[in-house]
Every structure is written in structure tokens, then in C-alpha cells.
Amino acid sequence: MAEVLKAGGAQVSIAGSNPLSTQDDVAAALAVAGLNVYSWYNATDEEYKDHLLNMIDDGPDIVIDDGGDVVQLLHTERTDLAKKVLGGCEETTTGVLRLRALERQGGLKFPMIAVNDAYCKYLFDNRYGTGESVWSGIMRTTNLICAGKTVVVAGYGWCGKGIAMRAKVWEQRLLLQRLIQ
């Protein structure tokens, strides 16, 4: 998406929304493509905050946030730059809750779209996207297959339902493999 925005003529600055999910090779490729990249894998809390503040210092007109950290910094530490922001969007449940709290207090300085409230976001992305990516991430980082394991899912919102559904699929694959053998 960042490359599409750049191809459309936007100056794009990007930072990871989670220091543990940033992929250094992707960040490097985006930098080579001409985007302002402020992120690396496994940044400390202080480095993560610095990345976000450096990105905000580029003076955004539009904010695409994931978790609400950028909007929070624009409302607390970079209020001078919040005046320039025309609006933005937030895709996570946590971020939307933070936005709603700001709005209730009368402190939201620019309009935001709660992407997470869209049916296609939580019925599809939260359930299927998160369900698949959680298991892919676990298997990639642990080098273990999840089939045959006991799984506990804490929370049964759309993300939890997707994670549980994918765990069931892995179990069904294991049973099918046993039948074939």
C-alpha cells in the first residue's frame, strides 16, 4: 500500500506498528524504493517511540495508524503537527478504543475512520487474516508444526475465532495424513 501511495505522488513515511513484526528486508526494500522508513526488527521501546516521532516529524497530512500510537503522539508530544493532519484511519480494535476515548473527552484533533468497524475488516481480516498469520508466525519462529498440539485460545472475538479455526484445520490435516498413511 505504501508503494501504491508513493506511485500516486504521495511522500510516504512509514514505521512499524510493532517492533517484533517489522521485517528488516521489507523495510530496506521500501527505503530503496524511496520511502522514508523508520523501523527495524526488535527495536527497544525507546527506539520504537523514536521511530514514530521521527516519522511524525515528516509532517503528515494523513495518518494511517495501526494500534493508535501515532495518533496518541500527535495528541500529546507533537500537538503542533496535529494541526496539519486532515484525518486518517485506524484499523485495530485497541486503536479504535483509544480514539473513542479521546473523542468522548472532546480531545480528538482531526477526523479518523474506524476501519475495524467495517464488516469486511472484522469478519474477514480479523478472522481469516489474523487466524492464518498467527499460526504462520508461531510455526516460523518455533520451527514446529502445530498439528497434534493442545491449543488454548484466550479471548473469542473475531481474531480468537480465526485462531481457533486455523488450529482446528491443522488438527484435521494431521488426522487426514494419518488416514492416508
Contact 144, 178 (CB under 8 A): no
C-alpha cell at 11: 511522500
pLDDT digits (tens, 9 = 90+) for 63-110: 999 889 999 999 999 999 999 999 999 988 888 999 999 999 999 999
Q: What is the mean pLDDT of residues 19-46?
A: 91
Strand 13-15 relative to strand 112-114: parallel, antiparallel, unpaired? Answer: unpaired
pTM: 0.73
CA distances from 98 to 81, 106, 133 (A): 19, 13, 24
Residues pairing with 37 in the sheet: 14
Q: What is the pLDDT of residue 174?
A: 67
Size of the chain, expressed as the number of residues it contains: 181
The contacts of residue 88 (CB under 8 Å, 6+ apart) are: 60, 62, 63, 64, 65, 71, 110, 111, 112, 113
pLDDT digits (tens, 9 = 90+) for 123-164: 888 788 888 888 888 888 888 777 777 888 888 888 888 888
C-alpha cell at 62: 494523513
User: How many Cα neighbours within 13 Å face the side chain of 74?
Assistant: 31
Distance CA 81, CA 71 (A): 11
CA distances from 111 to 5, 49, 147 (A): 20, 23, 45
C-alpha cell at 17: 506498528
Strands ordered across the beta sheet of 87-90:
62-65, 87-90, 112-114
